[in-house]
Structure 1
Amino acid sequence: MKSIVCEQPNQLKKVESKRPIPKAGEALIRIQRIGICGTDIHAYGGNQPFFTYPRVLGHELSGYIEFIPNNELGLKAGDQVSIIPYMECGECIACRNGKTNCCKDMKVLGVHIEGGMSEWITVPYTHLVRAEGLTLDQAAMVEPLSIGAHAVRRAEIQQGEFVLVIGAGPIGLGVMAFAKDQGAKVIAMDVNKERLAFASEWAKVDYTLNVLNNPFDKLVDLTNGEMPTIVFDATGNAKSMTEAFNYAAHGGKLIYVGLVKADISFNDPEFHKKELTLMGSRNATLEDFHYVVDTLKCKKVDLNRYITHRTQFDQLIEQFEDWLTPEANVIKAIVEI
């Protein structure tokens, strides 16, 4: 079995190993598509929190079930599936309260444990979502889109309210699309004008703002001085996440979707004056995965333009560095096996 390992920062290596043997309660999956995400890029660059080397990367995955034990989910060999890559303990307070996405002892494929940048992988069958009716590309994109869907669900958006999404990367774009689906008036903010143009066309956002062009005053104008009632920050940038406090309305919500390896600080009097609600949004749940699968089946989200780059598994190592440059204009890259 071929796998690609991140041995240390800035070093990928192809290795050969035996095909994994499923343990009790596990299925064997033949991987067909692997999405490349910010976590993989940060791990490659040495900037991913909670990460140790060496590690097989990859957690945006789709494939076919090769083997599965008898199960109550009705899954069977040959089914096309998406993989939920968050391995929760099932016992901590978060898990007992149904919040498996923020398990106290979470193990994420490709971060804490070996990921799916391999020809085969074994996972608990409870972490499989049937993806019949989707393409293999779509099935691999269910995971990153579910992160955006989860953040939007936490925000409890009301019809017609102003929602600001900072960061027009793959996760931020998903947040925008699902916020629009909830009836919000969505404002996209980024430093990259090409990304903003893409957000306008793909996610159908109502307004775009460039961070470099005095966005605060423009937000005042757009919202008649009231500011957005919900602000999502999907940048993973400490400066942006700090400044995001300035953009939320009195009584509003700020949701951090991005993760940064740094401390974030804010002005407490301003925070209290506005009575802001500050939220973290981590990973996604089975409910979010099913919602995204249904959304894709209804063709509400077009992934043909969302996936901008692709390569074959055997060419990934040679291709990976090129995808990291701003000139590459990568929205989402995908690997075919």
Structure 2
Amino acid sequence: MQVTPLIWIITIAVTIAFFVYEFFAHVRKPHEPTIGESARWSAFYIGLALLFGVGIGMVSGWDFGGQYFAGYLTEKVLSVDNLFVFLLLMSAFAVPKAYQQKVLMIGIIIALVLRGAFIAVGATLIENFSWVFYLFGALLLFLAWRQAFASHDSDPADNRFMRFLRRHLAVTDEYHGDRLTVRKDGRRFVTPMLLTIVAISLIDVVFAVDSIPAIYGLTSEAYIVFTANAFALMGLRQLFFLIGGLLQRLVYLTQGLAVILAFIGVKLVFHALHVNELPFINGGHPVEWIPEIPTWFSLTFIGAVIVVAAVASLAKTRGGRAGVAAEEAADAELTKDAPPAH
């Protein structure tokens, strides 16, 4: 895939322009987005991402187009899982709904910058060291295991680092609009808004470690890696407000992501064996009988896992909600039939 420096410059400039527009058009004035606003912009960004993938397929070939779609799907699902953590964080810090957009926007921008840096490092490593595929594969298998047994029960507002900040910084108990610091009685205080942004930045680092090796397992093209990540992050703010309630019902999303990460980890190990140069493995020669997993299979597998995880989650939670409703109705009936207390 031939990507000239000019195309890189235009792509990065357009990406920055989108986020600048987002900030001044939607985030600068604090408000809680409506469902209609969130739905329209979510559909716009998803449609734009799909059109971009079609463009890659038509210009550079459908193998690269398939790599983009597989990468975009993986990064989008990882982003939805990240939204669940963002939801916990917003709740833990009691961020007013009018200011949640600003926190999300700052977190998304930091995520894009971090992922851009990780993409550059990853591309350099892959170009110079073929053994890095072993490292990425092992990392993804570990992340898959961690994801399968992940727990969202910890309080992001009361972890060790947050307690350290509260001990060493003067923090107000209440929000002061969307300000990060405030002066009271001649003394400078930081607000909970600043702590929230620090927490979301730390989470972004973890997310970047998850997402970049995952997409490099689907494509070695840095341009596809960057654009898939950028489009996955675009519209994430609107998606947060659109599916906030639905997030609680995606109970199998974590397990689905674990399966996807494990699959990509195995794919990376297979590729590492196929291009092997390590002297203590097969005498430093490629293991030619190891198959390369084709792009079409990766795309199909990832799409199938997403659909199964979503359908199974909604089916389970629908049953659970029906059960709760039945129990409440039964309790009400018993209360109605019970003799009056004397």
TM-score, length basis structure 1: 0.25
Using CA pairs below 8 Å that are at least 6 residues apart, which structure has the higher relative contact order? 2
The structure whose residues are more often helix, as a share, is: 2
Of the two, which has the highest radius of gyration? Answer: 2
TM-score, length basis structure 2:
0.25
